[in-house]
């Protein structure tokens, strides 16, 4: 579900394209943004084709707010949608995303901040693929730890990540990092669990941090409270692209980094 920058839902083709472009400028930074989005008109309320290529751009994350799905307002249909970002940078990590959809129906709602939100409510057929290399997944998983360390003039470097799949939609991870504070260095071990929900959201849990030696113990005490705040944290991989549509097939693999593939059709019952 995607928050738009407009105060009221767009009501025709031109205002919809303007809403797309303004929202792109708010959440995405990169060169030539105007040329990255192509929208071909159909017979309103239908749009014939939307193509977006955000390769090489950076997402400016926005904290999601609850959406009122009980009061949906009629929107429009996209006959053909194609999206790619290979890669899109998120929190200094590269994420590769590809998505296609046919006969994608979008409605409008309001979130808890009273922003206009586009909600996918039905689709004839669609596919989403998300890939994160192991190095970039490590960057995402250590984002909170690095923030906590920086607040205390410490840095975290040279991490090694191990992943172990647990069932169809979960994995354990363990990473060993070298942390520095001034001239001193220590080893930290950070571990936790990743779970994938049906709306393509990663959930982090069971996050722990242990340190070796006196300095390691001190740095672990600094990092641990920050990690605890990230327990149960959700990382949307393609949540904004799914809304109320129904997933037919979901594949989750951590053999080489993280790979998620999904097919969807129709709407949730």
Instruction: Name the nearest CA neighbour of 128 among 26, 240, 25, 4.
Output: 240
pLDDT for 241: 52
Q: Which of the four pLDDT bands, split at 50, 70 and 90, describes residue 238?
A: low
Please name each of the domains of the chain with its CATH number. 2-122 (no CATH), 135-234 (3.10.450)
- What whole-number percentage of the chain has pLDDT above 70? 93
Q: Give, as one character, the DSSP assignment of residue 34.
A: G
Distance CA 221, CA 201 (A): 29
Q: Which of the four pLDDT bands, split at 50, 70 and 90, describes residue 1?
A: low
For residue 18, the tally of other CB atoms under 10 A from its CB is 14
Q: Which of the four pLDDT bands, split at 50, 70 and 90, describes residue 123?
A: very high
For residue 8, the tally of other CB atoms under 10 A from its CB is 10
pLDDT in tens, 124-150: 999 999 999 988 988 877 776 777 778
Distance CA 172, CA 168 (A): 12
pLDDT for 269: 61
Distance CA 196, CA 169 (A): 5
pLDDT in tens, 77-104: 999 999 999 999 988 889 999 999 999 9
Three-state SS at 243? coil
pLDDT at 240 over 60: no
Distance CA 105, CA 246 (A): 13
- What whole-number percentage of the chain has pLDDT above 90? 47
Instruction: Name the nearest CA neighbour of 238 among 90, 107, 109.
Output: 90
pTM for the predicted model, two decimal places:
0.81
pLDDT in tens, 34-61: 899 999 999 999 999 999 999 999 998 7
């Amino acid at each position: 579900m995607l928050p738009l920058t407009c105060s009221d839902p767009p009501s025709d083709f031109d205002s919809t394209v303007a809403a797309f472009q303004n929202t792109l400028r708010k959440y995405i930074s990169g060169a030539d943004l105007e040329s990255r989005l192509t929208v071909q008109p159909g017979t309103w309320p239908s749009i014939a084709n939307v193509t977006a290529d955000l390769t090489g751009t950076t997402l400016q994350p926005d904290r999601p707010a609850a959406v009122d799905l009980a009061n949906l307002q009629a929107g429009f249909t996209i006959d053909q949608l194609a999206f790619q970002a290979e890669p899109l940078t998120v929190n200094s990590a590269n994420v590769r995303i590809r998505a296609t959809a046919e006969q994608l129906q979008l409605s409008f709602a309001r979130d808890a901040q009273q922003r206009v939100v586009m909600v996918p409510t039905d689709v004839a057929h669609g596919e989403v693929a998300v890939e994160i290399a192991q190095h970039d997944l490590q960057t995402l998983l250590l984002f909170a730890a690095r923030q906590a360390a920086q607040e205390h003039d410490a840095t975290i470097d040279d991490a090694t990540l191990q992943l172990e799949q647990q069932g169809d939609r979960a994995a354990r991870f363990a990473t060993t990092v070298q942390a520095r504070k001034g001239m001193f260095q220590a080893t930290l071990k950070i571990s936790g669990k990743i779970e994938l929900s049906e709306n393509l959201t990663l959930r982090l849990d069971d996050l722990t941090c242990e340190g070796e030696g006196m300095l390691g113990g001190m740095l672990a005490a600094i990092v641990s409270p920050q990690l605890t705040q990230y327990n149960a944290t959700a990382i949307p991989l393609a949540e904004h692209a799914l809304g109320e549509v129904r997933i037919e097939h979901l594949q989750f693999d951590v053999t080489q980094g993280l790979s998620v593939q999904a097919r969807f059709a129709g709407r949730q019952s």
